Chains A and B, each alone.
Chain A
Amino acid sequence: MKKYDAIVIGAGHNGLTNAAYLAKAGLNVAVLERNAYIGGATVSRELHKGWTYTNCSYVCSLLRPEIARDLELPRHGLQVVPYGGGVTFKRDGGYYGNYYDHNRQYREMARHSKRDANAYERYTADVMKQTRLIRPFLLKRPPDPTSLKLRDLRDLTEFAGSFMEMGEEGLADTLKFWTKSVGDFLDEYFETDVIKAHLGGTGVIGTALGVYSPGTAYVLLHHYMGDVDGNVGSWGFARGGMGAVSGALAKSLLGYGGEIICDADVDQIVVKGGKVTGVALKNGDEIHADVVVSNLDPKRTFLDVMDAKDLPADVVRKAQNFKIRGSSGKLNIALDGLPTFNGLDKSSPLMLGDMHFSDSLQRLERAYDDWKDGTWSKDPYVDMLIPTQTDPTMAPPGKHMMTVFVQYAPPKIRGGEWTAEDKAGFEKSVIDQIAAQSPDFKDLILHCETRTPKEIEAEVGLTEGNIFQGELTFDQLLFNRPFPGYAQYRGPVGGMYMCGSGTHPGGGVMAAPGANAAREILNDLRQPNIVPGGYADD
């Protein structure tokens, strides 16, 4: 029977990052993956010959450059290409676009409202103030406010310091950001519906809340706190799809002597005498290790692969109460050519970025109403991109691949399982919405992969198909992620750790939870810290 120093469950990007650092530190590590392929939700697959889909996650900004550089991901084949542009099409045939150049952006906004164009500068500065507060904590464990340990006190002092530096207004803004709705927040800056809708969408992505639900302003901030090459708030594509991220992480891990075992479905984390001793697989095999790291979400970790009797009742209850609601689905489409969109030239740089059709916050809120009603949005919010306009590797020359993130889609349809008809209805609502602005779109479709929360849960393992491994609301952030008392990556059982997006700093392809968890594990094993801290913004 094979014994490892550490086992990581789940070959998603955080599991691979965690394992890469443990292997780099000299540990004998294996990553166990349930699927026949690695990546989790950071995956590229060819489901239609000649086309590579970026099946789940589809854009990249939060991936920490410190980790990419340290684990030599570029050498292992990762290239992140930033994109600009972006457009929201209006029902009346017009649009609002997002330009690369600051002054061009100003003129585009001024076309809708000169005042909004000017207010955008205040908005940007206010958002950046908040990212400045959070970014230094991305590659740190969240300090425990009740701890008297030196490390926690030091981090808390630093946090309090940057907090106080913002002044009374800044403090008020911070609280606003963490508690307000994205709709209310945007209403404070802008008067134009389409501009608010364009900016507001990121406040609800992956979240089972509406644009007027408290807490969604933070989700917007979460989407601004990444960077591509130091440009905070910028987003990019991984060349070859997001599978390139997990592929490069895997090569890095293997390079450090780690192992990846696919088709290894973990049945249970084995606990003896209050300590983990390894894992039991569904096929009956047992693999031993003194350290077991779960990259699964908190519900799967504590309610599925761990036995309740091995856990404090308090943890089981917290896992049961953990908010991880499915709210989104995905369409990946192979296209025979670049679609035409009303009012836009095909060579417009606006098309290189995220495209949307919800032109008011009201429409976004109505889309949420359908979710509350237990069904998919009849007029959904989509975050649609065509990466093959800049990536030559994902479709044959002249052909295109479209990724359409769709909100909202509930995990169950009015309490029942998704049926084939439901799935077809969901797909139709999206395709009709796109086709309403693109006359040739339907004719260009060669293949479409439609994923409701049901498929995402079944294939990726995310509970309810929640893309962030738990909602990014203030009650589940920082020292509360996943729950108070367990936010520093250590589980309630000796040798058991968590490294997924359900831990600080949360979801998105960031690799920070995996790296932060590795730092804590190495610390417990009295190994030198080899996990990098964050670059300073200033």
Chain B
Amino acid sequence: MSAKSDDTMMLTTPFHSRVKEACGLNCWGNWMGYTTPNAYEDVELEYFAVRSTTGVFDLTPMNKYRVSGPDAEAYLNRLVTRDVSKIRVGRVGYTVWCDDAGQVMDDGTIFHLAENDYRICAYARAIDWFNWAALGFDVSIEDETAEVAALAVQGPTSCATLLAMGLEGLDQLKPFGLTEFEFEGETLMVSRTGFTGDLGYELWIAPHKAEALWDRLFEAGRPFIIRPFGTDALEMARIEAGFLQAGVDFMPAEEAVRNGRSRSPFELGLGWLVDLDKPVFNGRRALLREQAEGSRYRFAILDVDGNKPAQHSFILKGGKQVGTVTSAAWCPTAKTNVAFAQIEMPHGAVGEELVAEIYYQRELHWTRVLAPCKVIESPVFNPGRRRATPPAGF
């Protein structure tokens, strides 16, 4: 270790030797202190690997927390908005968790590994809040981010690839299911989950088997056209699929400094994750109040005219500003110009026609367009293969 290097330097994931070799563009980003590729070879090529063949994404830096102990289920039911008792062993559930003001702290997935044994994947670091919220519960909460290496294997041939790798019976795994295989003496956990909106799986393994897993996966995937993808391609895929990104589409409540900058689940279009029938959970009282009195904002997916992405746009109604765009992209598969917006109530209902004030630059020259847009009901990309069990070959 050089004099300048210590444990606070940028980290690399257990796949780094392979990632580095594949990263022809040498185009790196920083994800929670880990060196991760923004792109390997070409963003579009990578995006289309996810949409047409198989794309592989190193998601090791994702914060992972192990929640176990006699009160684990009771604790999680108190922590998150969903009814965790409905997530059976071997299943995964998407959820949000709120502070006492009913404001979303983060979204994430809960993996029910065994009776009273869970893993939570989260965007934001949450060990402090998770421990704080655990007062009075008999649970242990551990940060296992560095102890679990993870790959997302996404795309229409992902199942065929994993079957070819020897994961027999994986085609029977239903969406949001999880299962285990033996891999070179270690346990390989596979969940049918992902952040691309396509058919896809996530692979979880001990770090010392990471490189071996990568090698076997790419060897098996060659006939099925496998390719690694970076965060830029993931960004295109998740917008097309209608997935929110913490820190982009909402401010994690704990990080918000200015009053009114955080959002409730209802305001993010995530009301379906809130189970008010549960007697107690963090934020319930505030959310009940909001339900009675109305929300301040509405999350809207906009179909924007033209082909200029409405990034950072104001949303207007009758010339007056009623909202702002948080994410926007031209979606290459859906061939639609999509934007996620936070719209002030009562605007933003499905079908409402609004105007996006878009600024874009061509050769250092800025232009403004007022593009008509319409609030649409559902994400623009939602293929049947995402849900089919067993999935087709491609």
Using CB atoms and an 8 Å cutoff, list the residues of chain A in contact with chain B: 65, 68-69, 73-74, 79-82, 84, 100-101, 104, 228-231, 239, 349, 352, 389-393, 397-398, 535-538
A100–B42 touching, CB < 8 Å = yes
Given A101-B25, A535-B306, 11 further pairs, Cβ under 8 A: A84-B45, A229-B330, A231-B44, A349-B41, A349-B45, A392-B52, A392-B157, A392-B224, A398-B222, A538-B362, A538-B367
A-B contact list, 8 entries, CB within 8 Å: A73-B335, A74-B336, A80-B332, A100-B41, A391-B52, A397-B393, A535-B306, A537-B362
Q: Does B160 contact A (CB under 8 A)?
A: yes
Residue from A73, A104, A389, A536 in contact with B306 in the complex, judged by beta carbons closer than 8 Å: A536
A68–B335 touching, CB < 8 Å = yes
B44 surroundings in chain A (CB, below 8 A): 82, 84, 229, 231
A82 surroundings in chain B (CB, below 8 A): 44-45, 48, 332
Number of interface residues of B (CB under 8 A): 30
A74–B333 touching, CB < 8 Å = yes
Q: Does B156 contact A (CB under 8 A)?
A: yes
B52–A81 touching, CB < 8 Å = yes
Q: Does B321 contact A (CB under 8 A)?
A: no
Q: How far is the CA of A412 from the CA of B92 in the complex (A)?
A: 66
B48–A74 touching, CB < 8 Å = no
How many pairs of residues, A versus B, come closer than 8 Å at their CB atoms?
76
Closest to A230 in B: B307
B362–A393 touching, CB < 8 Å = no
> Smallest distance from the beta carbon of A394 to chain B beta carbons, Å?
10
A392–B336 touching, CB < 8 Å = no
Q: How far is the CA of A230 from the CA of B48 in the complex (A)?
A: 16
Closest to B51 in A: A79
A239–B41 touching, CB < 8 Å = no
Q: Does B223 contact A (CB under 8 A)?
A: yes
> Smallest distance from the beta carbon of A531 to chain B beta carbons, Å?
15
B394 surroundings in chain A (CB, below 8 A): 392-393
Name the residue among B44, B334, B394 with the largest chain A CB count within 10 angstroms.
B44
A230–B160 touching, CB < 8 Å = no
A65–B51 touching, CB < 8 Å = no
A389–B42 touching, CB < 8 Å = no
B53 surroundings in chain A (CB, below 8 A): 390-392
Q: Is the interface of A mostly helix, strand, loop or mixed?
A: loop
Residue from B225, B307, B330 in contact with A392 in the complex, judged by beta carbons closer than 8 Å: B225
Name the residue among B25, B164, B330, B335 with the largest chain A CB count within 10 angstroms.
B335
CB contacts under 8 Å to A, within B207-239, are 222-225
Q: How far is the CA of A101 from the CA of B43 in the complex (A)?
A: 10
Q: How far is the CA of A230 from the CA of B336 in the complex (A)?
A: 12
Given A82-B44, A392-B225, A65 contacting B335 (CB threshold 8 A): yes
Q: How far is the CA of A117 from the CA of B53 in the complex (A)?
A: 33
A84 surroundings in chain B (CB, below 8 A): 42, 44-45
A390–B335 touching, CB < 8 Å = no
B160–A74 touching, CB < 8 Å = no
> Smallest distance from the beta carbon of A352 to chain B beta carbons, Å?
8
> Smallest distance from the beta carbon of A102 to chain B beta carbons, Å?
11
> Smallest distance from the beta carbon of A4 to chain B beta carbons, Å?
30
B48 surroundings in chain A (CB, below 8 A): 81-82, 390
Closest to B337 in A: A69
B157 surroundings in chain A (CB, below 8 A): 392
Q: How far is the CA of A490 from the CA of B116 in the complex (A)?
A: 74
A397–B160 touching, CB < 8 Å = yes
Closest to A72 in B: B335
Q: How far is the CA of A127 from the CA of B107 in the complex (A)?
A: 47
> Smallest distance from the beta carbon of B308 to chain A beta carbons, Å?
8
> Smallest distance from the beta carbon of A165 to chain B beta carbons, Å?
14
> Smallest distance from the beta carbon of B366 to chain A beta carbons, Å?
11
Name the residue among A74, A104, A349, A352 with the largest chain B CB count within 10 angstroms.
A74
Sorted nearest first, the 7 A-B pairs with minimum C-beta distance are A398-B223, A397-B223, A100-B42, A392-B394, A538-B362, A535-B307, A229-B332
B362 surroundings in chain A (CB, below 8 A): 537-538
A393 surroundings in chain B (CB, below 8 A): 394
B336 surroundings in chain A (CB, below 8 A): 69, 74
Closest to A391 in B: B52
B42–A65 touching, CB < 8 Å = no
A79–B333 touching, CB < 8 Å = yes
A352 surroundings in chain B (CB, below 8 A): 45
A349–B42 touching, CB < 8 Å = yes
Name the residue among B164, B332, B367 with the largest chain A CB count within 10 angstroms.
B332
B42 surroundings in chain A (CB, below 8 A): 84, 100-101, 349
B307–A65 touching, CB < 8 Å = yes
A104 surroundings in chain B (CB, below 8 A): 24
B307 surroundings in chain A (CB, below 8 A): 65, 230, 535
Q: How far is the CA of A68 from the CA of B333 in the complex (A)?
A: 11
> Smallest distance from the beta carbon of A104 to chain B beta carbons, Å?
8
> Smallest distance from the beta carbon of A353 to chain B beta carbons, Å?
11
B330–A230 touching, CB < 8 Å = yes
> Smallest distance from the beta carbon of A239 to chain B beta carbons, Å?
6
Residue from A73, A79, A228 in contact with B52 in the complex, judged by beta carbons closer than 8 Å: A79
Closest to B222 in A: A398
Residue from A74, A231, A397 in contact with B335 in the complex, judged by beta carbons closer than 8 Å: A74
Interface string of B125-161 (1 = CB under 8 A from A): 0000000000000000000000000000000110010
A390–B367 touching, CB < 8 Å = no
B306–A74 touching, CB < 8 Å = no
Q: How far is the CA of A65 from the CA of B367 in the complex (A)?
A: 22
Q: How far is the CA of A104 from the CA of B225 in the complex (A)?
A: 23
Closest to A66 in B: B307
Given A100-B45, A349-B41, A538-B362, A392 contacting B335 (CB threshold 8 A): no
Closest to A537 in B: B362
Given A65-B307, A69-B335, A230-B330, A389 contacting B52 (CB threshold 8 A): no
Interface string of B11-24 (1 = CB under 8 A from A): 00000000000001
> Smallest distance from the beta carbon of B386 to chain A beta carbons, Å?
15
> Smallest distance from the beta carbon of A134 to chain B beta carbons, Å?
17
A79 surroundings in chain B (CB, below 8 A): 51-52, 333
CB contacts under 8 Å to A, within B3-45, are 24-25, 41-42, 44-45
> Smallest distance from the beta carbon of B76 to chain A beta carbons, Å?
38
B332 surroundings in chain A (CB, below 8 A): 80, 82, 228-229
Closest to B363 in A: A538
B25–A392 touching, CB < 8 Å = no
> Smallest distance from the beta carbon of A194 to chain B beta carbons, Å?
23
Q: How far is the CA of A228 from the CA of B45 in the complex (A)?
A: 12
Q: How far is the CA of A392 from the CA of B55 in the complex (A)?
A: 13
Q: How far is the CA of A74 from the CA of B51 in the complex (A)?
A: 12
Given A79-B52, A390-B48, A391-B52, A397 contacting B333 (CB threshold 8 A): no
Q: How far is the CA of A379 from the CA of B224 in the complex (A)?
A: 35
Q: How far is the CA of A45 from the CA of B330 in the complex (A)?
A: 31
Q: How far is the CA of A100 from the CA of B45 in the complex (A)?
A: 9
Name the residue among A74, A391, A392, A535 with the largest chain B CB count within 10 angstroms.
A392
Q: How far is the CA of A69 from the CA of B53 in the complex (A)?
A: 23
> Smallest distance from the beta carbon of B388 to chain A beta carbons, Å?
15
Closest to A65 in B: B335
> Smallest distance from the beta carbon of A17 to chain B beta carbons, Å?
15
Closest to A68 in B: B335
A398 surroundings in chain B (CB, below 8 A): 222-223
B223 surroundings in chain A (CB, below 8 A): 397-398
B24 surroundings in chain A (CB, below 8 A): 101, 104
Interface string of B34-71 (1 = CB under 8 A from A): 00000001101100100111000000000000000000
